[in-house]
Amino acid sequence: MKKIVVVGGGAGGMELITKLGKTLGKKGKAEITLVDIANHHIWKPLLHELATGSLDEGTNAVDYQVHGANKGYLYQRGALTGIDRENRQIILAPLYSADGRLILDERRLDYDYLVIGIGAISNDFGIPGVKEHAFTLDLTEQAMILRERIQDQFMQHASGQRQGKMKVAIVGAGATGVEMAAELHHMTQTLRTYGYKLEQDLLDLTIVEASDSVMPALPKSDLRQSVHDKLLELGVKVSTSTMVTEVTKQGLTTKDGQLIEADLIVWAAGVKAPEVLATLGLEVNRANQLMAADTGRTLSDERIFTFGDCASIPQEDGSFLPPRGQTARQVALMIGTNLTRLLKDPNAKLDRYVYKDLGSFVNLAHFNTVGNMFSFFHGGLQVVGCPARFVYASLYRRHIISLHGPLKGSMILMIHGLNRLLRPQLKLW
């Protein structure tokens, strides 16, 4: 039986593996295997909510092993470290426990077709001190560590053992940075209702952005302005056209010699693909992304496909697909269709991806949501408030329905809704 291995069970990978499991794995037409470093999936655009405790990982995480058993695919936990293309095998690093015990030795898995969708990691652009002093939001574990640090600081302020303002700096005013800032304000307000003795203006939060606007990826300047205005209303200091040159224990040093003091620094200034991709013998660009055609097939190997944040896929106008949830999902699903064809006929004509920007949304906790829909049509339609929140939330709903099917998916979403109503707004442990 032909073997398809998908490495990376993220926003795109989970939708692909579910599709392949249903159409091929369950019907015995191919053996489908998912490989991921983690043992569970949490939709990455929600990581900032996990970092502030708004999201409960217990009810939102999807266990790969169990999901695979239900959906017709196998699961192997491990990190991709190499590809033996001659023998069509991938190599997984030895697996260690958190306390350093060896659990599994290095392993090799056979494939006939390999799909790589291992996402992106934060790009520190070589700026000194980022790794040592800033938090990033690439993995569930990092979000959980950040949550603990944020909660510790709030507790120190509430107990009076830490004086003055709680100084936070977020580098990068894209969706991650802006949403994180709003979530931190929401967290401060909610903790006060839980009896934490926190000054109303405790949070001294600065967002630093190298370009001249917040949310530079939003197509309309009035949308960017409304995000900017809302941040100012919340008391966030917005510092655009500001380059960070060093991160230290004291805070951020900028190109013009300013020191922005911070007790807690979140780095959300941009992404690059994981370094391992540059060591696989496949063609990559400067951001370590695998170079591929618009069919999802890598330029280096016709049996290897790629999608999402780790892929460099050209569009008709010569630009490349942006690293976003919707492109990861759409390309991954198209690769699913292409692989099904290739199993029947190795010379089959493959679908080519044409990007249609369905919109961009930014959710400022419960304060506001703004976005732009149908950007391909006369610059798009501006949406704010409740309708924007509905569309924003529907992206996650669609992801859950794709993973679990309409019936079970709707039930899970109902449980999430009830859980949000019944459980405390913040998870504190």
Ligand X SMILES: Cc1cc2nc3c(=O)[nH]c(=O)nc-3n(C[C@H](O)[C@H](O)[C@H](O)COP(=O)(O)OP(=O)(O)OC[C@H]3O[C@@H](n4cnc5c(N)ncnc54)[C@H](O)[C@@H]3O)c2cc1C
In one-letter notation, the amino acid at residue 24 is: L
Q: Which of residues 257-286 bind ligand X (CB under 6 A)?
A: 274, 276
Of residues 6, 19, 48, 182, which one binds ligand X by CB under 6 A? 48
Supply the minimum distance, in Å, between the C-beta of residue 338 and ligand X.
17
Q: How many residues does the chain have?
A: 429
Non-local (6+) Cβ contacts of 154 within 8 A are: 166, 187, 188, 191, 196, 198
Q: Which of residues 153-182 bind ligand X (CB under 6 A)?
A: 175-176
Supply the minimum distance, in Å, between the C-beta of residue 347 and ligand X.
28
Of residues 4, 20, 62, 80, which one binds ligand X by CB under 6 A? 80
CB burial of residue 406 (10 Å; 0-12, 13-18, 19+): exposed
* DSSP string for residues in 343-398: HH-TTPPPP-------EEEEEETTTEEEEEE-TTTTT-EEEEHHHHHHHHHHHHHH
Using the contact rule CB under 6 A, the part of the chain among 45-53, 202-210, 215-223, 334-342 near ligand X is 45-53
SS3 248: coil
Using the contact rule CB under 6 A, the part of the chain among 37-45, 100-108, 240-248, 403-411 near ligand X is 37-45
Site track 287-316 with ligand X (rule: CB under 6 A), x = hit: ---------------------xx-------
Give, in order, the Cα–Cα distances in Å from 145 to each of 8, 50, 112, 140: 22, 10, 38, 9
Of residues 17, 35, 184, 202, which one binds ligand X by CB under 6 A? 35
Supply the minimum distance, in Å, between the C-beta of residue 333 and ligand X.
11
Site track 111-150 with ligand X (rule: CB under 6 A), x = hit: ------xxx-----------------x-------------
Of residues 45, 172, 296, 359, which one binds ligand X by CB under 6 A? 45
Of residues 25, 129, 251, 325, which one binds ligand X by CB under 6 A? 325
Asked if residue 235 lies in contact with residue 201, where contact means CB atoms within 8 angstroms, the answer is: yes
Q: Is residue 393 at the binding interface for ligand X, with CB under 6 A as the rule?
A: no
Token pair 């063609």 in the structure block, residue: 283
d(CA 96, CA 80): 14
Q: How many CA atoms within 13 Å lie on the side-chain side of 57?
A: 21
Supply the minimum distance, in Å, between the C-beta of residue 280 and ligand X.
10
CA proximity to 52, closest of 153, 187, 157:
187
Name the site residues for ligand X (rule: CB under 6 A): 7-13, 35-38, 44-45, 47-48, 79-80, 117-119, 137, 175-176, 274, 276, 308-309, 323-326, 328
